[in-house]
Amino acid sequence: MSGCSRVRFLDTRPLRGNRPFRDLWIGTSVSQLGGQTANVAVLAQVWDLTGSPVGTGAIGLATGLPIVLFGLLGGTLADSVDRRAVVRATTAGQLLAAAGLCAQALADNRNVLLLLALVALGTSCGALGAPARRTFPVRLLPGDQVAAGLALTNISFQAAMLAGPAMAGLIIARWDFPAAYATQAVTMAVSMLAVIRLPAMPPDGAGATRGRRRPERGGWWVVLGRPTLRGSLATDLAATLLAMPVALFPLVNEVRFGGNPQTLGLFLSAVAVGGITAGLLSGTVTRWRRGGVVQLVAAGVWGLALACFGLAGPLWAALGCLAVAGAADTVSVVTRSALVQLETPDAYRGRVSSVEHVIGVAGPELGNFRGGLLASATSAPLALVVGGLSATLAIAAVAATHAPLRAYRTPSAAAEPAVPEAVVPAG
C-alpha cells in the first residue's frame, strides 16, 4: 500500500541517486528564477523608457527572432561537438548579457535599443545552447527515469513562473532595476558552476564521423521519418497553434469580469497552479510506459478544458478550467519531451531538439496570434470554444493516423534507438 501511495507523488529518484543530474537541476532551477526576475525588470524598464505598447511589444521581437534563428543553429552545433562545452560557452554568454543589463541600469541608460540589444544577446546565447541542454537528462539518467527528470525540471519552471514575478516586484520596488539584473547574473553564475561539474557529453558517433561529411538531412528529416516523433510534435503543434488562450485573457476578463487586473492575474496563476499540482503528482504519470497515449490524452484534455473556459460563467469555474488546462499541459510537455529524447538517436538529438524547441516557441506565439484574429472577427468566448474543439479534433486525427505513437512504450533501460536508414551517412 505504501508503495502505491508513493507512486502518486513526485518521482524524485533522479535527484536522490544521480549527482550530475541533481547539479543540473539545481543550476537550471535557480537560473530560471533569475530569468523570470529579469524578464519583469526588462518589461518595466522598457515601459519606463518608452511609455508605449509598441516598445514593450518590441521585447517579443528581440527574443522571438533569436530563438528561431539560433535555436536551429544550436541543434547542428550540439551534434558536432561536446554538448557540455556548448552549454558552458552559451551560459557564459548569458552571464555576460546579464552583467551588461546590470551595468546599463546602474549607468541610468535611457537608450531602449541598447537595452533590447542586451536582451537579444542573452536570448541568442540561451537559444544556441538550448538544444544541447535538452539532451542532458537522457544522457545522465536511465531510460525509465527520463520522464521523472523532465517532470522535476518542469515543476521548477512552473515554480519560477509563480515566484519570479512576485520576487521581481519586491526587488525592483526596494532596490530598482540594477538589483533585479544582478539577481539574474548571480543565478547564471550558479548555473555555470553546475554545468562545469557535469561530465563531458560528446554526441555518439562523433569519433566515427570525424573527417567525413555529416548528412545533409538533419533534425526535420529524422522527425518526418519516424511516426512517433512526427506524431508527438504534431500533437504539440495542434494543441498550441489551435488553442493557445493567453492573448484572449484580457478580452475575456473585460467581457465577463469587468476588466479587473487582479482577475487577469488569477487567469495566469490558475494555469501555473494546475501545472505545479500536476508536477507534484507526476510520479503516477512518469512511471506509466505508454507515453504516446498519455501525451495524446493530456493534449486532448488541454483542448477540452480551454473550450470549457470559453463557456464558463462564474469565476471559480473559469479558474478551474484553466487549472485543468495547466495540469494537462504539464503532463503533455513532460511525456513529449521524454519521448522525443528517447526515440532520437544520440547523433541527431541536438538537431531534433532544435526542431522541438522551435515548435515549442513558434506554436504558442502563432496560436495567440490566430486566437486574437478569430476573436476580433467573432468574440473571445467563441474563439476559445472553436480553438479548443479544433485542437481536440486535430489531436484525435493524429492519434488515428499514427499507430506507432499510440503503441509507444518507454524503455525500461537506457537503450539507444537505432539510426533510421534514411539518415545514415553515405559511406
Q: What is residue 379's three-state secondary structure? A: coil
Spatial separation of the C-alpha atoms in residues 118 and 131, rounded to whole Å:
22
Residue-level pLDDT at 412: 64
- CA dihedral sign, ordered 34, 97, 364, 238: negative
Query: H helices then E strands: how many in the chain?
Result: 19, 0
C-alpha cell at 61: 521581437
Find out whether 67 and 76 touch, Cβ atoms under 8 Å. no
- pLDDT tens readout for residues 320-371: 999 999 999 989 988 888 888 888 888 888 888 888 877 887 778 678 778 8
Residue-level pLDDT at 280: 81
Q: What percent of the chain has pLDDT over 90?
A: 40
Rounded to the nearest 5 percent, the helix, strand and coil shares of the chain are 80, 0, 20
Cα–Cα–Cα angle for 63, 67, 70, rounded to 5 degrees? 130
Residue-level pLDDT at 319: 93
SS (H, E, C) 205-217: CCCCCCCCCCCCC
Residue-level pLDDT at 48: 86
Residue-level pLDDT at 66: 86
Q: Which of 307, 304, 296 is nearest to 395 (CA)?
A: 296
> Helix H segments across 258-402?
261-280, 283-286, 291-311, 315-343, 349-377, 380-401
How many Cβ atoms are within 10 Å of 185's Cβ, its own excluded?
20
**Residue whose C-alpha cell reads 462564474 in the numeric block:** 314
Cα 374 to its chain centre, rounded Å, is 25
Residue-level pLDDT at 53: 57
Q: State the greatest distance between any 2 C-alpha atoms of the chain, in Å, as a whole number.
A: 67
Domains in the chain, ordered, with CATH? Answer: 7-146+156-199 (1.20.1250.20), 218-418 (1.20.1250.20)
DSSP 79: T
> Helix H segments across 197-248?
219-225, 227-243
- pLDDT tens readout for residues 370-386: 887 888 788 888 989 99
**Residue whose C-alpha cell reads 469580469 in the numeric block:** 257
Q: Which residues of the chain have pLDDT under 70?
A: 1-8, 53-54, 57, 205-219, 261, 265, 286, 365, 412-427
C-alpha cell at 19: 549527482
Residue-level pLDDT at 299: 95
Length in residues, the chain = 427
